Every structure is written in structure tokens, then in C-alpha cells.
Amino acid sequence: MKLGVCYYPEHWPEARWATDARLMREAGLDIVRIGEFAWAQMEPEEGRFDWGWLDRAVDTLAAEGLQIVMGTPTPTPPAWLVRQYPEVLPVDAQGRVRRFGSRRHVCPCSREYYRLTERIVTAQAERYGRRPEVIGWQIDNEFGCHDTARCYCDNCAAAFRLWLKERYGSLDALNEAWGAAFWSQWYTDWEQIGPPILAVTEQNASHVLDYYRFSSDAWVKYEAFQARLLRDHGDAAKFVSHNYMGNFPDLDYHKLGEPLDLVTWDSYPTGYAEVMAEQLRSPDDPGAFRAFYAHDVGDPYVTGFCHAITRGIKQAPFWVMEQQCGNVNWSTHNTGVGPGAVRLWTWHALASGADAVVYFRWRACRFAQEQMHSGLRKHDGSADLGYEEVTALQGERSLMDEIAAAPYEPEVAILNDYEDLWAVQLQPHHRDFSYQRAQFVLYRACQELGIGCD
């Protein structure tokens, strides 16, 4: 069992880095994840790379014995890139171009995005892939987050048609499979087929389902493209991972796992705790969910459900790549986190089959979107509750290792099929029915009976 932390050296004066690294070591941390949003710092203008700062950051962390997981910075194409190649911007389900100014502003089918990805990931793999301190890679960050799994631009429309040709072979087969006899939806030319948006009313579920499949496949393909670059240009022995989002429904997480050596997920138990509980718990749940509880440590069944989903991807130990360690900033109620919560979450992850828990984030940021998000250290650099609690875990590390060494062997497995999930989502037949809720009811029943469940 390893512990780690997410760190953004590019947010802090270089003079502070050594202090931070020392404090990490003193807390007993083994791992640091860096780099996944720093494209602008790595490639400040097109084709000109600046690796100096990152070399020094790696050196500084390594000097304290920390192992590094390095992220490829592709979730955040910089301003110069977007202005030069506006086609990389995605289009939403309302037909609007989604603009620069946050993250994940990319279309998974853009050739320019592929080309620019290839250049930076190749350069990054060549520079860091063989450094011993870098133990593995994280490709990109949280694919699909912020409703970005599906893009509806013209690039995607063209790619969708190619995907359909491959799947069906002929328009006759497609028309037959989609039931295009219904409402005169019969296609006589591939060019007549577009993304399933902005129709007058509900669209053909088979059309939409295929767009969901296609979109998921597009990200899997993009991920595999990066995985190959990292292995070809770095050291193929180092793990390639991606950080999932628990019960996120928009991507086929099984397929997304295929190009990866390691699956990880980002666990924020109090983030949207009441929303998750509402989505997953039955409307007539006899032991009704208490909001207080959700905002204390989150609903443990929901957290455990997400651990189980992640564990199921590779039927193998997983990591928590981002573990909440104080209040978040992006939920409806960003309540503080009480004493014991960080310890509890760490043990819960371990007991659920996690091999490592990486806290998010090292230090509260002084600016931008996550200014109100806590870290192990406070804005001013002093220790926050999370730091104290992680440090105190050192006395429990040998027990942790012992437990981690025992394989997780559940008695029950629940089928988790994303195509089924989407099909139910498209035609639920009852407003309150959802695939995940049905799964969760089974999962929770098993947990309450003490029966391990995969």
C-alpha cells in the first residue's frame, strides 16, 4: 500500500519546491503525481518545448525519494493552440462551439488535436520515460468530465459515418438494425446521417445508442494512441494509467481499460454527496439517506460502489489517484471535513482493494477555479487537518501492507455493461428507473449482509 499526493509545481515559486518535497517525505508519502495540466508550461509556443522547469521539479522530488507519476497534459490545450487550430474545440448538444477558458475543450476526432498530441506526448515520453524516478504515466485526465464524452462537431459527424460503415457494412444493414422503417427514417446516402441532436422530438434510440458507442470508442482510440506513444518512446515497462470517475456513465469503462496497465479513480466522498445518494438510492429507500451523513464523510455505500466498479475493470487492484483530503470547492455544499475522515477514506480504499491512495492536492491553490479547494497544506503553506492525519497514518502502515497483500475475493459479482446502461438511459420507461440504481440496490444489499461484491 502506497500513499501519495497530487502536486502542481508550476503553481508555486521554484524556491518553495524543496520545502514541499521534504514535507511530503516527512508525512510518509511515497508518490507524487505531476504534470497533467501543464501543456502551456511545457510547450509555451507551438513546437518550442521548455522542459527545464519540469526537469528541476522531478529532480527536487526525487531528491527526497519520491516516486513520480507523470500526466500527459492533453486535457488543457493552451490558448495559442486553440487560437491557431480552432477546429480542436468541441460542439455541445445544442450545436454551440464550446470555448477556451477551462479544461477538456477538445474534440476527440480532430486531426490537429491528434497531431499536436503526438508531438508533445512523444517529446515528453522521450525525456521522462526512462528516468527511474518516473514509475508510470497518467494519460490525460478524467476523460468525459464536464459532459465532454460526446462532441457533435462536423469532424465527429464524418468520423461517426466511417464508424457506422465499419459496423454495418451497408446502409441496408444499418436501416434494418435501426428500424429505420419507423417514421420514414430510411437512409439512402451515408451523408444523410448526422449526430443525433436538435431533432424535433425523441430520436431513434438505436441512432443515439450508436452515437454513444462511437463517442466512447473515439476516446478509447485516443487513449490507445497516447498509450502507444508512451510505450514506444519511453520505457514500456512503466505503467500507463488513466483516472476514472467512479460511476461515471458516459464512457465504456471496460473498453477504456484495455489500453491501460492500471486503472485508477478519483474519490470525493462529500462532493455532490446528496446528488449521488439521490441518483443511486431507491426513492422509497426505507433507511432514508441523511444529508448530514453525506456531508460528514459521504455515503459509504456510494464510495464503496465506485471502488467496486473500478476494481471490476481489470479484476485487479486499482489506485485512488485523487483522494479527497479536505473540503472540495465544486459541490453544492462544500462542507469541511472532520477529524478521522481522511483516515477512514484511506482505509476504505485499502479494504476495497486499492494498492495506492494519492491525495488531492498538496496545497490549496491561491487562484483560479480551485482557489476554494483544500489540500494537505493550507494556502499559506501551513499544515491542514489532512496533513496531520496522513502523517499519523505512518503507525498503521505495516498493517496496511499486510491487508494489501491479501487478494480481494468477492463472493458475488454484478454485471456492469455500459451498452445496457445507455439503452436503459435512452428509454427508461419510468422516470425513476436507472441501470445504476438497480445495480446499487443489489450492491448495497450485499454489503449490508457482509458479502463482498465485485
363 binds its own copies, rule: CB under 8 A: no
Q: How far apart are CA 102 and CA 131, in angstroms?
A: 31
378 binds its own copies, rule: CB under 8 A: no
Q: How far apart are CA 20 and CA 423, in angstroms?
A: 48
Selected from 166, 284, 367, 398, the binder of its own copies by CB under 8 A is 367
Q: Are 112 and 85 in contact (CB under 8 A)?
A: yes
Give min distance, CB of 37 to its own copies, in A.
5
Q: The C-alpha cell of 421 is what?
A: 446502461
The piece of 71-79, 113-121, 301-309, 376-384 that touches its own copies (CB under 8 A) is 71-79
Selected from 50, 111, 154, 183, the binder of its own copies by CB under 8 A is 183
Active site residue 322: yes
49 binds its own copies, rule: CB under 8 A: no
Q: How far apart are CA 104 and CA 5, in angstroms?
A: 22
Selected from 4, 69, 88, 98, the binder of its own copies by CB under 8 A is 98
Burial 355-377 (b: 16+ CB within 10 A, else e): bbbbbbbbbbbeeeebeebbbbb
161 binds its own copies, rule: CB under 8 A: no
Q: Between residue 253 and residue 282, which ones bind its own copies under the rule CB under 8 A?
A: none
96 binds its own copies, rule: CB under 8 A: yes
202 binds its own copies, rule: CB under 8 A: yes
Q: How many CB atoms lie within 10 A of CB 96?
A: 10
365 binds its own copies, rule: CB under 8 A: yes
Give min distance, CB of 8 to its own copies, in A.
8
Helix 52-62 and helix 111-128, axial crossing angle in degrees, nearest 10: 50
Which residues, including other chains, have CB under 8 Å from residue 376's CB and lie 6 or more apart? 5, 27, 325, 326, 359, 361, 362, 363, 383, 384, 386, 387, 390
Q: How far apart are CA 293 and CA 205, in angstroms?
A: 38
The piece of 54-62, 201-209, 375-383, 411-419 that touches its own copies (CB under 8 A) is 201-209
Selected from 111, 115, 146, 290, the binder of its own copies by CB under 8 A is 146
Selected from 97, 173, 403, 442, the binder of its own copies by CB under 8 A is 97
Give min distance, CB of 142 to its own copies, in A.
11
Which residues, including other chains, have CB under 8 Å from residue 382's CB and lie 6 or more apart? none
Cβ proximity to its own copies, 414 vs 426, nearer residue: 426
416 binds its own copies, rule: CB under 8 A: no
Q: How far apart are CA 182 and CA 401, in angstroms?
A: 59
Tell me the CA distances in angstroms from 228 to 70, 115, 197, 239, 268, one per residue in order. Answer: 16, 14, 33, 12, 30
101 binds its own copies, rule: CB under 8 A: yes
The residue annotated as part of the active site, out of 43, 223, 322, 389, is 322
Active site residue 142: yes
Give min distance, CB of 325 to its own copies, in A.
17
170 binds its own copies, rule: CB under 8 A: no
The DSSP call for residue 131 is -
Q: Can you tell me whether residue 205 is helix, strand or coil?
A: helix
The residue annotated as part of the active site, out of 142, 223, 274, 389, is 142
Cβ proximity to its own copies, 202 vs 232, nearer residue: 202
Phi, psi at 67, each rounded to 5°: -95, 145
298 binds its own copies, rule: CB under 8 A: no
82 binds its own copies, rule: CB under 8 A: yes
Q: Are 241 and 139 in contact (CB under 8 A)?
A: yes
The piece of 192-200, 313-321, 403-411, 434-442 that touches its own copies (CB under 8 A) is 192-200
206 binds its own copies, rule: CB under 8 A: yes
Selected from 427, 445, 448, 451, the binder of its own copies by CB under 8 A is 427
- Positions annotated as catalytic residues are 142, 322
